[in-house]
Amino acid sequence: MKIATWNINGVKARIENLCIWLKESDPDVVCLQEIKSVDENFPREAIEALGYHVETHGQKGFNGVAILSKATPEEVMRGLPGDDTDEHARFMEAVFSTENGVVRIVSLYLPNGNPIDTPKFPYKLSWMERLNAFAADRLALEEPLVLAGDFNVIPEPVDCYSPAAWAGDALFQPESRNAFRRLENLGFTDSIRAVDDRTGVYTFWDYQAGAWPKDNGIRIDHLMLSPEAANRLKSAGIEKHVRGWERPSDHVPVFVHLDI
């Protein structure tokens, strides 16, 4: 099973690129973030025409996640548990049946948290604590689980072209990185780092200051694997070339192949 994640940065603006990529990459399940669309306006027809089932958790103008899949999920849950007052559309879990049982796949868009001297940063940290609590609860099921999405966290200095340039950013604060590390310490595997320990491995290049041609990137899009999923990891990669397409997202797709 090929599972991919991609912060599309506006699905309507990027629908042509999305369809081209779906044909080229041929993933079985796709987790999208920042669809920036309410559910009823999501351009599902073009995607369904390619053979994908579409589940969305949208929000007008910003946020929003989706899961596209060749198979219809058995269950879908929208919203990260732990705060009934949180109205941001940032989280959706789908459960798929396989020959070997089930696999749980989450599409998540973790809060950015900037500026750090505003309530946005505590909200980010609180959201991460809720995510870790959810993940710990799901681990007790002892099922393959993939947490896929834009985590808005640069895990280590090697995941950034210039740590000094990001020192004051919420994505690289010690609190953000420590929360990410606590997720790893629960038993989750960072799929890309499980197969590739090189420097210069990025998933995001800003639109400003010539970041893409200079390769001034960061790695903030992750597929985190539970032990049961990590045991089935065949390969993982980043489809960097998509950033060079016309009207690109500032993120690129990241994928894993699991023997499921």
Does the annotation count 150 as an active-site position?
A: yes
Sheet strands (E) in 41-100: 53-57, 65-69, 75-78, 91-98
Q: Is 63 annotated as a binding residue?
A: no
Beta bridge partners of 150: 109, 221
Which 3 state secondary structure label does DSSP give 211?
Answer: helix
Q: Is 34 annotated as a binding residue?
A: yes
Q: Which of 103, 12, 116, 115 is nearest to 66 (CA)?
A: 12
Instruction: Please name the residues in contact with 51: beta carbons below 8 A apart, sequence gap of 6 or more.
Output: 70
| Angle, vertex CA 75, rays to CA 74 and CA 80, nearest 5 | 155
Which 3 state secondary structure label does DSSP give 97?
Answer: strand
Q: Is 152 annotated as a binding residue?
A: yes
Does the annotation count 251 as an active-site position?
A: yes
Instruction: Please name the residues in contact with 174: beta carbons below 8 A apart, sequence gap of 6 or more.
Output: none
Q: Is 197 annotated as a binding residue?
A: no
Name the catalytic one among 28, 52, 57, 109. Answer: 109
Name the catalytic one among 52, 57, 150, 221. Answer: 150
Q: Is 251 annotated as a binding residue?
A: yes
Does the annotation count 241 as an active-site position?
A: no
The values of phi and psi at residue 88, to 5°, are -75, 135
Which residues are annotated as part of the binding site? 7, 34, 150, 152, 250-251
- Supply the residues annotated as catalytic: 109, 150, 251
What are the binding residues for Mg(2+)? 7, 34, 150, 152, 250-251
